């Protein structure tokens, strides 16, 4: 039964029989499989158990439920995966990188129904592996399928523009986008499907070949997709590696065979991976890293709206979103009322298992995360902040009941680190310049949310904050979507811009064929186009 944050009660199932039959996950036998060179193989080497954040009782005590096993590969298998991707790319001469755009699109279109066919399995694994609620797990899956469809449309549009010839200063040219090489894709545990695919799909469709490594939590859910990849793409175009990042990702980078690093995770790991590459100038990086997005509550803010958006923005999926609101600055004049309403809203959140209807707070997948959050809260308490909401900060196994901290100070650890969990520090301020100064000093700069009604006062903040972060939200929470909007960050928040269309650019480079516009060259170009001899030099229109 779900409970309220304000009234913690036992919420974990005492036995598997207490889980509704259609939500149970039998031991997942297919986890120890991998895809290299177009073949899905069974892994016979050492494996690691995938454990759920959901604890289940076994007659006495509660244990993190064991879901299945996944391969713990070594550097040798990682190199094998890389070699397969390199063969498929063949220094840009392979079938995939030289294929026509229309044909590559056809492969991705074939992939779509195969992905859709495993929706229920992937959604259930998402719930059990990372504790995502059923509606959010479905949303992540459907959003990913939409992203693939939108990517196909965006590439068609891009190709339609590129299929024209440019005539300039005595030259005739065709300008297109070409692939870059082998891409290493590493997604995060909070969006293990979506954030892996938002780099993997654009990378693929632009003609690159890919090695991808699923995150530790959210690893099994990729298994049902391996056959879909194998059936949809030529051998070696998509390959998987599993295991500890330092064991498999390091050797991939050190060999210099990776041309693009697409990584969503911590700034520290990104820096490590980048520096392992022997020719960093040849490496393109597409990074989604850390964030400490502030919400600013101005004196004339609609407090009901601000509370609703801050609660959602800070605590959906337990605050485990890079775009989550991770610190609130509230004008001192409205701080007591805002805090009272915020504490009530957080206290009313529903805590429970991912499949329970209306549940909002669920178990956390990262090892010892509740204990780490407790340390942050204890440190803030020692500095004079207190937990405002009843039951906030309670730990029950892998559950951490969300805590609103007030008055927090910018110097406190909880205001400086990315908590990536259900703890929300609220800092009172007197002058907006204090918020701007905080943002200037912050090592990250992704988004901010402003709550207020005074257009002039908002404008002043907008004009300074757009140079500190990359998206300023007015009277609404921070978020990535709609996925056609640019998603990026400054400082240690990101490198490169992702959106449906930007991602196509990030994973490709402009290249052109140009000729002096004279009779001979015009005849050659015409013959190439009319005879459809080239996949690059073509005026074919993709419908």
- Residues near ligand G3H (CB under 6 A): 190-191, 195, 321-323, 479-481
Rounded Cα distance between 390 and 444, Å, is 32
Other CB atoms within a 10 A radius of the CB of residue 468 amount to 21
What is the smallest separation between the CB atom of 540 and ligand G3H, expressed in angstroms? 35
Give yes or no for a contact between 528 and 165, defined as CB atoms under 8 angstroms apart. Answer: no
Query: Closest by alpha carbon to 231, among 109, 72, 400?
Result: 109
Q: What's the CA angle centered on 321, arms 182 and 214, to 5 degrees?
A: 35
Query: Closest by alpha carbon to 249, among 229, 272, 268?
Result: 272
What is the smallest separation between the CB atom of 243 and ligand G3H, expressed in angstroms? 23
The structure tokens 């998402």 sit at 126
Helix axes 335-347, 303-315, angle to 10 degrees: 50
Q: Which long-range contacts (CB under 8 A, 24 or more apart) does 102-110 make?
A: 102/159, 102/540, 102/542, 104/204, 104/205, 104/207, 105/152, 105/155, 105/156, 105/205, 105/542, 107/232, 107/233, 107/234, 108/148, 108/151, 108/152, 108/201, 108/204, 108/205, 108/232, 109/152, 110/231, 110/232
The sign of the dihedral angle between the CA atoms of 277, 279, 283, 289 is: positive
Task: List phi, psi (to 5°) of 497.
Answer: -120, 130
Nearer to ligand G3H, 190 or 488 (CB): 190
Q: How far is C-alpha 387 from the chain's CA centre?
A: 30
Rounded Cα distance between 19 and 295, Å, is 38
Give yes or no for a contact between 330 and 295, defined as CB atoms under 8 angstroms apart. Answer: no
Helical (H) or strand (E) element with 39: strand 39-42
Rounded Cα distance between 30 and 320, Å, is 27
Q: Which residues contact 106 (CB under 8 A, 6 or more apart)?
A: none
Q: Strand runs (DSSP E) across 247-402, as ranges?
A: 260-264, 284-288, 293-297, 325-331, 350-351, 386-387, 395-396, 399-400
Rounded Cα distance between 453 and 27, Å, is 53
**Can you read off the two tokens belonging to residue 357?**
């209807």
Helix axes 119-130, 223-232, angle to 10 degrees: 140
Find residue 168's DSSP bridge partners. Answer: 171
Q: What is the DSSP string of 264-290?
A: ES-HHHHHHHHHHSS-GGG-EEEEE--
């Amino acid at each position: 039964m779900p409970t309220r944050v304000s009234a913690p009660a036992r919420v974990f199932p005492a036995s598997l029989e207490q889980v509704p039959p259609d939500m149970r996950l039998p031991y997942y036998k297919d986890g120890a499989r991998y895809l290299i060179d177009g073949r899905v193989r069974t892994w016979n080497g050492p494996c690691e158990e995938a454990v759920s954040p959901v604890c289940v009782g076994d007659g006495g005590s509660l244990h993190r439920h064991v879901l299945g096993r996944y391969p713990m590969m070594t550097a040798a298998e990682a190199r094998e995966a890389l070699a397969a991707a390199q063969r498929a790319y063949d220094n840009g001469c392979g079938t995939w990188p030289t294929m026509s755009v229309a044909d590559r699109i056809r492969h991705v279109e074939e992939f779509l129904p195969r992905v859709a066919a495993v929706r229920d399995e992937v959604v259930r694994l998402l719930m059990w592996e990372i504790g995502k609620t059923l509606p959010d797990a479905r949303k992540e899956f459907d959003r990913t399928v939409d992203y693939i469809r939108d990517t196909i449309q965006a590439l068609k549009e891009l190709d339609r523009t590129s299929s024209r010839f440019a005539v300039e200063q005595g030259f005739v040219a065709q300008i297109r986008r070409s692939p870059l090489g082998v891409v290493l894709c590493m997604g995060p545990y909070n969006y293990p499907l979506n954030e892996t695919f938002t780099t993997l799909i654009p990378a693929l469709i632009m003609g690159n070949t890919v090695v991808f490594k699923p995150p530790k939590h959210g690893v099994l859910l990729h298994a049902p997709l391996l056959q879909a990849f194998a059936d949809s793409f030529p051998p070696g175009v998509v390959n998987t590696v599993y295991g500890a990042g330092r064991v498999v990702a390091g050797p991939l980078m050190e060999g210099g065979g990776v041309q693009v690093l697409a990584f969503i995770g911590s700034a520290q790991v990104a820096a490590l991976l980048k520096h392992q590459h022997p020719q960093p100038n040849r490496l393109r990086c597409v990074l989604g890293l850390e964030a400490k997005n502030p919400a600013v509550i101005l004196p004339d803010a609609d407090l009901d709206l601000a509370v609703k958006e801050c609660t959602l923005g800070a605590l959906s999926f337990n605050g485990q979103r890079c775009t989550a609101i991770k610190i609130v600055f509230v004008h001192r004049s409205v701080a007591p009322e805002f805090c009272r309403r915020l504490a009530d809203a957080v206290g009313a959140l529903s805590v429970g298992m991912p499949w329970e209807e209306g549940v909002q707070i669920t178990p956390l997948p990262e090892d010892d995360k509740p204990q780490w959050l407790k340390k942050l809260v204890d440190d803030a308490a020692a500095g004079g902040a207190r937990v405002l909401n009843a039951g906030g900060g309670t730990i029950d196994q892998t559950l951490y009941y969300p805590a609103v901290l007030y008055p927090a100070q910018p110097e406190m650890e909880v205001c400086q680190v990315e908590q990536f969990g259900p703890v929300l520090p609220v800092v009172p301020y007197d002058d907006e310049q204090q918020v701007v100064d905080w943002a200037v000093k912050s090592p990250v700069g992704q988004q901010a949310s402003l709550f207020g009604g005074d257009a002039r006062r908002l404008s002043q903040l907008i004009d300074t904050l757009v140079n500190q972060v990359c998206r300023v939200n007015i009277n609404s929470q921070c978020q990535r979507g709609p996925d056609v909007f640019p998603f990026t960050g400054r400082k240690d928040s990101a490198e490169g811009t992702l959106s449906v269309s930007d991602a196509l650019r990030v994973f490709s480079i402009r290249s052109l064929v140009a000729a002096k516009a004279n009779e001979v060259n015009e005849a050659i170009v015409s013959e190439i186009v009319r005879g459809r001899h080239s996949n690059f030099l073509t005026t074919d229109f993709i419908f």
